[in-house]
Amino acid sequence: MSEKKTNIKLPTPWRIKRYYFFIFLTVVSLILPWIKIDESHFFLLSFDKLQLHLAFVQFDMQELYLMPFLLMILFLGIFGMTVLGGRVFCGWICPQTIFRVIYRDLIETKLLKLRKRIKNKQQEPDMSLTENKIKKVIAILIWTALSLLASANLLWYFVPPEDFFSYLANPSDHMILVGTLLISALFLIYDIVFLQEDYCIYVCPYSRIQSVLYDEHTVMALYNTNRGGHIYNEAKEKIFTKQKDLQAFEPHAECTACESCVTVCPTHIDIRKGLQLECINCLECVDACTVVMGKLGKPSLVTWSSNYETIEKKGKTQYFRPKVLAYVALLVGLAVGMVIMGSKKENMLLNINKENRLYSISTSSDGRVIVDNAYEFLLQNTQNEKMKYYFEVILPKDIKGGLEILKPKEPFYVVPGVKKKKIVVLRTYDKLADDARHDTIVPITIRAYALGHEDEIVVFRDSTFTYPRADVIEDKK
């Protein structure tokens, strides 16, 4: 009596879920540079305007202390993702993978029919046929246009779209931008059309460190040798190519040796061989085995699971284990730190440099000694509109006397994004100190502010006022 085979209901393929996720990521990456709130972008690192935009808040290049936070969050996020879900970043988020899917699955397979089936990624098109050569040229031309778009999209996070297209209208004045656009597009053409998944295997450094991050609870595309049988020996040598030979050695083995999981793999590996650095966790092998075993009324032999649960059978996968929680704690700590640092953003930038001459002394018409100190103020308006600024001088409470602002007498305008240099002269008619041997360094505080926004746009800077020693004052009387 033959074994009764019952088809089971198949879940939505991981490949289709990836396609939807790729569409979402692509749309977000294309639209995000165009969205502005109060003339600020979600993310923009502008070397042209020397600005960093983050979460629609503008920061000056002097506030780039936020960039290390972003980089640490990026790398720790990828590492934590790997500890938890294997090389899922490569299969689901990496632009290289998304571009290869667009070129191979969409352009070559669906649009041009150059490849026969999406499920067979091992069989290359017969390029001896003239028709296929023409299709290949058309595919490269289509991808060339998309490469230019992808390169432009990348540059929009460094040169905002509103400037990008105006710069391209005058290419001779912006050769660095044009050169970067063309070189990155040429790289994408070579990478996606010719280098292909060899980039993931031989070039990308991430594949070299992933195995260090894995543990027995890491979830990955995994062939269940307990059910399917051992196709490879401990030396990773293939010992069975037919089901009957495998079942003669392991009668319980369920693998049909159809190799659907092999032909569908974009990095050309056999998942039944075990953990391999080439695996990008795209889960297409899971889909392939799910279809084959589903026809036999059995669950897939290749699953997204962990060694702990599927191979060693020690229990359920522990997702919230100490290592994962440590990554979460680090990421939360970095995010909080970045928010705290970002919240301290100054709404104007001010540097104060004292001139080399310590002071100048003169005498007023009524015989009083006048002491002047000169400074160079370098001020930058970090707002999005022209604003008027001025400042006041604050002396320590134990100093008897005062300072007046001799120059400038009136508030002054500063336009956004331009550093304004002002020569400032502070004067005193009072006797601020009485030291017979040394000049006295009087600490002062400069409170600079924007008129009409004195409480919101204000900064404090510490400086000094040099008052001459007593004999110099006496000589001037």
Round to whole Å and give the CA distance between 317 and 158. Answer: 42
The pLDDT mean for the chain works out to 89
What's the pTM?
0.78
Neighbouring CB atoms inside 10 A of 91's CB total 22
CA-closest candidate to residue 72, choices 336, 355, 460, 427: 336
Q: Highest mean pLDDT range out of 177-191, 206-220, 274-288?
A: 177-191
Instruction: Report residue 143 as tokens.
Output: 């991808």
**Residue 232 DSSP label:** B
Instruction: Report residue 142 as tokens.
Output: 């289509």
Q: What are the contacts of 286-290 at 24+ separation with CB within 8 A?
A: 286/14, 286/221, 287/13, 287/14, 287/15, 288/119, 288/260, 288/261, 288/263, 288/264, 289/260, 289/261, 290/10, 290/11, 290/13
pLDDT greater at residue 151 or residue 37: 151
Strands (E) across 333-386 are located at 348-354, 360-363, 369-381
**Residue 33 DSSP label:** G
User: What's residue 2's pLDDT?
Assistant: 43
**Partners of residue 210 on adjacent β-strands:** none
Tell me which of 2-11, 132-141, 180-189, 460-469 is least confident. Answer: 2-11
In three-state secondary structure terms, 430 is: coil
Q: Kindly tell me if the per-residue pLDDT of 156 is higher than 90.
A: yes
Round to whole Å and give the CA distance between 383 and 348. Answer: 8
Handedness of CA 302, 306, 311, 317 (dihedral sign): negative
The amino acid sitting at 180 is T
pLDDT greater at residue 4 or residue 236: 236
Round to whole Å and give the CA distance between 252 and 45. Answer: 59
Q: Kindly tell me if the per-residue pLDDT of 121 is higher than 50.
A: yes
Round to whole Å and give the CA distance between 325 and 84. Answer: 10
Neighbouring CB atoms inside 10 A of 41's CB total 26
Q: Determine contact, residues 108/139, Cβ cutoff 8 Å.
A: yes
Task: Please report the domains of the chain, with CATH numbers, ordered by start residue.
Answer: 1-34+65-345 (no CATH), 348-476 (2.60.40.10)
Q: What angle do CA 400, 404, 409 make, to 5 degrees?
A: 170
pLDDT digits (tens, 9 = 90+) for 299-349: 999 999 999 888 888 889 999 999 999 999 999 999 998 888 877 777 788
Q: What is the CA radius of gyration of the chain?
A: 34
Tell me which of 1-5, 178-182, 311-315, 409-413 is least confident. Answer: 1-5
Q: Determine contact, residues 105/146, Cβ cutoff 8 Å.
A: no
